[in-house]
């Protein structure tokens, strides 16, 4: 006998059961799960007292492709359309520390982001954009220290002191080992570079978020919402402990930590996920690490709508998906938001698609009324039940990871990857069997005869970058570069903070590939264990 609708179990992506109707009896809120007040510990309802009544989240569209000049034009367009912050996408060679003329870069220059090899490229990228007037996020990890050094140097050229720069570097290497793969160095030297950046920015770039601890890519790899929270916060714990072990006081660096989450399709679970993550992190920082400054306990985060939820079939449907995901992020209290473009399952987004994505945020901000009160869904039986359930599920995972010896040990043991792979497999099987509906893919399909206009990167971009690099190397002071490479080699073998030297290197026209190549010679490269 088939189950009726009322009898059929409904579950979220994390396996949390959704009852037919929730009541106060389902919540069992105790003092440890008090909703509290917005802007106060444990920050369940938001990190600021007035949230969007004071000012909207930063509308920060992720963009970058081809050359610095073309990406600069896209940034200017977005700023003209009302975007309130920049977000830089780098190409694959840049992400793994190779110059455009390196054989490893062949065929990849400018394809999934902008190619940045030198300070000259970075200066062209921000031509005409005053760095004291914008907040810039850079999605860069293994070579984050070098790219930030270039940004600081561009600011100096503009007459902007580093103390006036605002923004974020992702700088999250642990999730690269877990989910994304754009790593260079082994864990120990990678963590050293991260803590060097923490210490340097404390005094030199105090308004900069020194890391964006990312659950986004963990979710894109197939994790559940609970796993996204758990594995992200586990990585956060590892970074905090590494900084403390390096001699930094928790309240000296923790206020500059930030996070990056995915906004996926299960609307209610996503709202609850953000609230649960805030509350859990606040307790970790206070109870585990003894933080005293409330800013050290605040989980401030950027959100991007789910790239893996976009479909190549009926791409216009993605506009609806993105709008709902963005609304969940806003209702969950995000500080910054990127909305994906409808054509991103097919190619880099066109200017028209980017404009629609930005307008989606603006409609939420200015037309829906959801910004008029803080945490408007607080007290909903379903939302509070889900918040509690996500928090408990994530806490259980954190206990397992602690038992294994922490995030690095859990990654090395294959635990984190194994959990994500199982969740991804379960989702794929549910879609293939029709248990999980993807509109336009396994239900409500149509025959599509034409493909929308797509953005295509000119192959000549790669040769242009190679030509510029050759000219740079010909005109710079190569004796000075040689001396700097020797100094960097020596300093990398000590405990000297490398950030000031990185700034000096890029200001003297050392390229990204040359800096990273010098470090490769000292640290080696990370090679993941392969199992069959």
| Residue 480 within a domain | no
Angle between helices 225-245 and 267-283 (to 10 degrees): 20
Burial class (CB in 10 A: 0-12, 13-18, 19+), 526: middle
Kindly give, in sequence order, each residue whose CB lies less than 8 Å from that of residue 160, ignoring residues fewer than 6 positions away. Answer: 130, 131, 132
| Residue 279 within a domain | yes
| Residue 285 within a domain | yes
Helix H or strand E encompassing 304: strand 301-305
Does residue 82 contact residue 358 with C-beta atoms inside 8 Å?
yes
**292: containing domain:** 10-35+54-432
Does residue 491 contact residue 501 with C-beta atoms inside 8 Å?
yes
| Residue 263 within a domain | yes
| Residue 211 within a domain | yes
Q: What is the CATH number of the domain that holds 253?
A: 3.20.20.240
| Residue 111 within a domain | yes
Name the domain count of the chain: 1
Read off the pLDDT of residues 410-448 as tens digits, 9 standing for 90 and up.
Answer: 999 999 999 999 999 999 999 999 999 999 999 999 987
| Residue 25 within a domain | yes
| pLDDT tens, N- to C-terminus, the chain (532 residues) | 345 545 668 999 999 999 999 988 887 655 446 688 999 999 999 999 999 999 999 999 999 999 999 999 999 999 999 999 999 999 999 999 999 999 999 999 999 999 999 999 999 999 999 999 999 999 999 999 999 999 999 999 999 999 999 999 999 999 999 999 999 999 999 999 999 999 999 999 999 999 999 999 999 999 999 999 999 999 999 999 999 999 999 999 999 999 999 999 999 999 999 999 999 999 999 999 999 999 999 999 999 999 999 999 999 999 999 999 999 999 999 999 999 999 999 999 999 999 999 999 999 999 999 999 999 999 999 999 999 999 999 999 999 999 999 999 999 999 999 999 999 999 999 999 999 999 999 999 998 777 778 888 888 999 999 999 999 999 999 999 999 999 999 999 999 999 999 999 999 999 999 999 999 999 999 998 765 4
Residue 135 vs residues 132, 289, 312, 449, 529: alpha-carbon distances, Å: 8, 29, 32, 42, 38
| Residue 74 within a domain | yes
Distance (Å, whole) CA 257 – CA 210: 6
């Amino acid at each position: 006998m088939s189950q009726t609708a009322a009898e059929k179990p409904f579950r979220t992506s994390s396996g949390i059961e959704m009852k037919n109707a929730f009541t106060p009896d389902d919540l069992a809120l105790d003092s440890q799960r008090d909703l509290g007040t917005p802007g106060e510990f444990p920050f369940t309802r938001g990190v600021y007292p007035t949230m969007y009544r004071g000012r909207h989240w930063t509308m920060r569209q992720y963009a970058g492709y081809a050359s610095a000049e073309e990406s600069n034009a896209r940034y200017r367009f977005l700023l003209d359309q009302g975007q309130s912050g920049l977000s830089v996408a780098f190409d694959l060679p840049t992400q793994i520390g190779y110059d455009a003329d390196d054989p490893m870069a062949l065929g990849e220059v400018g394809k999934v982001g902008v190619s940045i090899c030198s300070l000259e490229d970075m200066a062209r990228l921000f031509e005409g954009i005053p760095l004291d007037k914008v907040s810039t996020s850079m999605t860069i990890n293994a070579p984050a220290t070098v790219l930030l050094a270039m940004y600081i140097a561009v600011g100096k050229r503009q007459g902007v002191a580093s103390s006036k720069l605002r923004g974020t570097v992702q700088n999250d290497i642990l999730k690269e080992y877990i989910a994304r793969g754009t790593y260079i160095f082994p864990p120990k030297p990678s963590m050293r570079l991260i803590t060097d950046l923490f210490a340097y920015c404390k005094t030199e770039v105090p308004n900069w978020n020194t890391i964006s601890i990312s659950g986004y890519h963990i979710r894109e790899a197939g994790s559940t919402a609970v796993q996204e929270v758990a594995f992200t916060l586990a990585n956060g714990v590892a970074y905090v402990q590494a900084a403390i072990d390096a001699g930094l006081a928790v309240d000296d660096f923790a206020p500059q930590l930030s996070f990056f989450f995915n906004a996926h399709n299960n609307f209610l679970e996503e709202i609850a996920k953000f609230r649960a993550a805030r509350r859990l992190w606040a307790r970790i920082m206070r109870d585990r690490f003894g933080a005293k400054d409330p800013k050290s306990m605040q989980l401030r985060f950027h959100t991007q709508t789910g790239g893996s939820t976009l479909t190549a079939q009926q791409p216009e449907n993605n506009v609806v998906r993105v709008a709902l995901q963005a609304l969940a992020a806003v209702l969950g209290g995000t500080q910054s938001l990127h909305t994906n473009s409808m054509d991103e399952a097919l190619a880099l987004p066109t200017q028209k698609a980017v404009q629609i994505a930005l307008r989606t945020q603006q409609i939420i901000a200015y037309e829906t009324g959801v910004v008029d009160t803080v945490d408007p869904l607080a007290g909903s039986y379903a939302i509070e039940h889900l918040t509690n359930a996500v928090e408990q599920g994530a806490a259980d995972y954190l206990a397992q990871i602690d038992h294994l010896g922490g995030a690095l040990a859990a990654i090395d043991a294959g635990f984190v990857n194994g959990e994500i792979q199982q969740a991804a497999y379960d989702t794929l099987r549910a879609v293939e069997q029709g248990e999980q509906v993807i509109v336009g893919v396994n239900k409500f399909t149509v025959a599509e005869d034409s493909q929308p206009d797509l953005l295509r990167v000119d192959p000549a971009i790669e040769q242009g970058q190679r030509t510029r690099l050759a000219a740079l190397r010909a005109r710079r002071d190569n004796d000075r570069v040689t001396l700097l490479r020797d100094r960097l080699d020596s300093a990398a073998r000590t405990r000297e903070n490398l950030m000031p030297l990185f700034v000096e290197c890029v200001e003297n026209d050392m390229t990204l590939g040359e800096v990273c190549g010098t470090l490769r010679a000292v640290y080696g490269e990370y090679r993941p264990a392969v199992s069959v």
